Structure 1
Amino acid sequence: MKGYDIIIIGGGAAGFFAAINAAEFKPGASILILERGKEVLTKVRISGGGRCNVTHAEFLPAELIKNYPRGEKELRGPFHTFMTGDTIAWFEERGIELKIEEDGRMFPVSDSSETIIDCFLSEVRRHGIRVKTNQPVQDIQKSGDNWVISMGKESYFSEKILIATGSNPKIWKMLEKLGHTITAAVPSLFTFNIRDERIKDLPGISTFADVKVEGEKLESSGPLLITHWGMSGPAILKLSAWGARELHNLNYSFKIIVNWLPAYSSEAILEKLKDLKFEHAKQQISKYSQFELPKRLWQNLVRAAGINETEIWADLNKNQLQSLSFQLCDSRFQVNGKSTFKEEFVTAGGVNLEEVNFKTFESKLQKDLYFAGEVLNIDAITGGFNFQNAWTGAFLAAKAMTE
């Protein structure tokens, strides 16, 4: 049974970041990374469509934490110690420049996740950190002052261990045996499956909208993207993240209310429609989109309001005007099911946050047991925020493990 100063379980972003920083905080420390799969850093490779969305250009902790449905309160302190600017500096010190895109997402200038992977692998080699793949952990036990990690035929021991396995049910069960409470995992960051004539044949169309879940205190605003299977885009993804548990409890069958014109209520838009009836009396309603809505979406909503293609504004009666105002500002859509957002599967769930010291990311229940990344009940919306949580937790854990 071989011993190490630090053993890190999980060969992903958080695991590598923790190992590299620990080696720099304590030169000469013997560090081992154990990865259950054939390859390391697989999630880094697919992040951002293969470009690696490293972090997000938000430099105020109070604003950054607003992007975490779970972990907002707990991350405030850690972000004051290590956050976006520190992440940028860390990579720049290793020759990797990051760029900011219009939506705030940050990628390596190379636009390739391999740049980040190569950096990590190079740093691991430079520091002499051992990396072992195909190492599914069978058991984690405390023996005196050391942790014993059993792989079946082989075992390792160390004084300190860090769990950076993401949403791994087997590891969670081992942590439960050590006294930790695990919040069951449910999907977060998913799109809505909707079959509805109003959005049929409109994939690719995007517009800003307000979205609410009927009967729940869940709402969001942002770009809404119509897809082949329903709706996606930031407005929908935010709802799926903040409502992960509630929507799971509804078995992903619920209604959403969409306001295609967030600046207006249905009552206010009704008055605007009356003005249009007067101003464009002889104009065909379907022919010219109003309120800067995408033309085909406007035409579908007009049709849904019971207005035919040849009708002119002057012909509209009170009921038609009212119906159109509801289609524009109060559209109801039935959601039946979800689809995973890209390949980056994110879950809500993990180690209970009340059982973790967020100054060090050490367990409050087990001395010398640390956590980083999505093994904790922390998750974020899309845009580089989940990686920033990984970098922050891994950095603080590495610092604490080497002090």
Structure 2
Amino acid sequence: MNQNFDIIIVGGGAAGFFTAINIVEKNPKLKVAILERGTEVLNKVRISGGGRCNVTHACFEPNELVKFYPRGEKELRGPFHQFCSGDTIEWFEKHGVELKIEPDGRMFPVSNSSQTIIDCFLKATQKLGIAVLTGQSVQSIFKKDTLWKIETQSENYLAEKLILATGSNPKVWEMLQSFGHAVVSPVPSLFTFNIKDSRIKELPGVVAQVTVKVKDTKLISTGPLLITHWGMSGPAILKLSAWGARILHDKNYQFTIFVNWLNDADKEDVEKKLKELKQEHAKKSVSKKSPFELTNRLWESLVLASGIESETKWADLSKIQLQNLANQLTNGTFQVNGKSTFKEEFVTAGGVDLKEINFKTMESKLHENLYFAGEIVNIDAITGGFNFQNAWTSGFIVANAV
């Protein structure tokens, strides 16, 4: 027996729900179903942002917003002019969810709970009569005359239009390849660096404003760096991992980084400053108090790494020691040996090739009535609510198009 719908959406995540709700709000006569392979829907929404759901980011200029997407920057410009973060805020407010902005620009529900977003979506799908069918793992998809036929392990479905919102699901990518779609092979995107190094071994929890470069590449990033038990994390590192997803994967996650612990201070200037300190603080011990915006613990560790013993006074520093210290501060070399997943928010770079999608409608250029929403396509962003914004925008555009 075939179950017939006007539109079937595969994937019960953020993009799938948002697309479904927007379609039926614009056209209440349509019969729409969401197929989800798991027993629960909206799982990634539940755990995102530490269980608070980082809905979007307070960046309201489309041309600025696109800069947070290592893959998709050019393609998202048009879509963001149709539906941007401001529209997201308005949409959720209209659906009874108020959002708030945190100092770093991330936006969360005022309730501080991702359950608020989940409840909002579930309530809307019930009210609009959208069928939410769980435990439906899609086994095959094919075109039957003008209809799409979707087979799961227990049911067969027919629909005029098919929307895929399956995130990074390799099985669905394989099916699309059998339809002639090109899929950019997935590699991890947001990850932290594993580094064993005596300079940072005792400093987990220390944060510094840095500039980090990856040796022999053009990769560079600035921002807060967090020292962890296994190495380095924080926005500066996560940004590098996102922009360098392919490059670092090709290096098998074995590479060298240079850390400027004084943000972008110039080595010569720092050396000059150290010489002045040598005059001013002649009688004081070098390692005791950081003269820069660094924690005392990190300063002490870098002083020791420069070959300066802990009781040494400023007056007794040699020219070589001053140079070593300036070098440790502005150009510390660290070996990265592997990566760790960042929290449980696993993001991949990869997916349906962007050249095969019409970004005015999110429709496949190869198959009529086949649409994409969310992370199934080769678009990904750094952390901060941007991956969700892509889900909302693409879902909105699909809803308008169908």
**Cross-structure match for 2:219:** 218
Q: CA–CA distance in 2 between the matches of 1:159 and 1:75?
A: 27
Q: CA–CA distance in 1 between the matches of 2:359 and 2:250?
A: 30
- Shift, 1:64, TM fit: 0.3
Q: CA–CA distance in 2 between the matches of 1:94 and 1:398?
A: 17
Indicate whether 1:183 and 2:177 are aligned. no
Q: CA–CA distance in 2 between the matches of 1:330 and 1:88?
A: 42
Q: Percent identity?
A: 65
TM-score (norm 1): 0.99
**Cross-structure match for 2:168:** 167
Residue type matched to 1:332 in 2?
T
Q: Is 2:136–2:154's contact at 8 Å kept on the other side of the alignment?
A: no
Residue type matched to 1:275 in 2?
E
Which runs of at least 4 in structure 1 moved beyond 3 Å after TM superposition?
none
Indicate whether 1:385 and 2:386 are aligned. yes
- Shift, 1:261, TM fit: 0.8
Indicate whether 1:49 and 2:37 are aligned. no
Give the match's secondary structure for 2:188: strand
Indicate whether 1:126 and 2:127 are aligned. yes
**Cross-structure match for 1:229:** 230
Superposition pairs of residues 227-266 of structure 1, within 5 angstroms = 227-266=228-267
Q: Deviations over 1:319-338 (max 9, x none)?
A: 10100000000000011111
Give the match's secondary structure for 2:138: coil
Q: Deviations over 1:217-238 (max 9, x none)?
A: 1010000001111100000000
Residue type matched to 2:394 in 1?
G
- Shift, 1:262, TM fit: 2.1
Provide structure 2 residue ranges, at least 5 long, that are not aligned to the other structure.
none
**Cross-structure match for 1:78:** 79
Q: CA–CA distance in 2 between the matches of 1:293 and 1:82?
A: 41
**Cross-structure match for 2:365:** 364
- Shift, 1:23, TM fit: 0.3
- Shift, 1:153, TM fit: 4.2
- Shift, 1:265, TM fit: 1.6
Indicate whether 1:37 and 2:44 are aligned. no
Q: CA–CA distance in 2 between the matches of 1:187 and 1:292?
A: 33
Aligned residues: 401
Residue type matched to 1:101 in 2?
E
Q: CA–CA distance in 2 between the matches of 1:292 and 1:263?
A: 12
Q: Is 2:290–2:296's contact at 8 Å kept on the other side of the alignment?
A: yes
Residue type matched to 1:76 in 2?
R
Q: CA–CA distance in 2 between the matches of 1:311 and 1:122?
A: 67
**Cross-structure match for 2:305:** 304
Residue type matched to 1:201 in 2?
E
Give the match's secondary structure for 2:184: strand
TM-score (norm 2): 0.99
- Shift, 1:154, TM fit: 1.9
The worse-fitting range, judged by mean Cα deviation, of 205-214 and 269-278 is 269-278
Q: Is 2:215–2:255's contact at 8 Å kept on the other side of the alignment?
A: yes
Give the match's secondary structure for 2:199: coil
Q: CA–CA distance in 1 between the matches of 2:178 and 2:156?
A: 19
Q: CA–CA distance in 1 between the matches of 2:360 and 2:208?
A: 41
Provide structure 1 residue ranges, at least 5 long, that are not aligned to the other structure.
none
Q: CA–CA distance in 2 between the matches of 1:152 and 1:12?
A: 20
Quote the RMSD (CA, aligned, Å).
Answer: 0.7
Q: Deviations over 1:52-78 (max 9, x none)?
A: 000000000011000000000000000
**Cross-structure match for 2:90:** 89
Indicate whether 1:338 and 2:343 are aligned. no
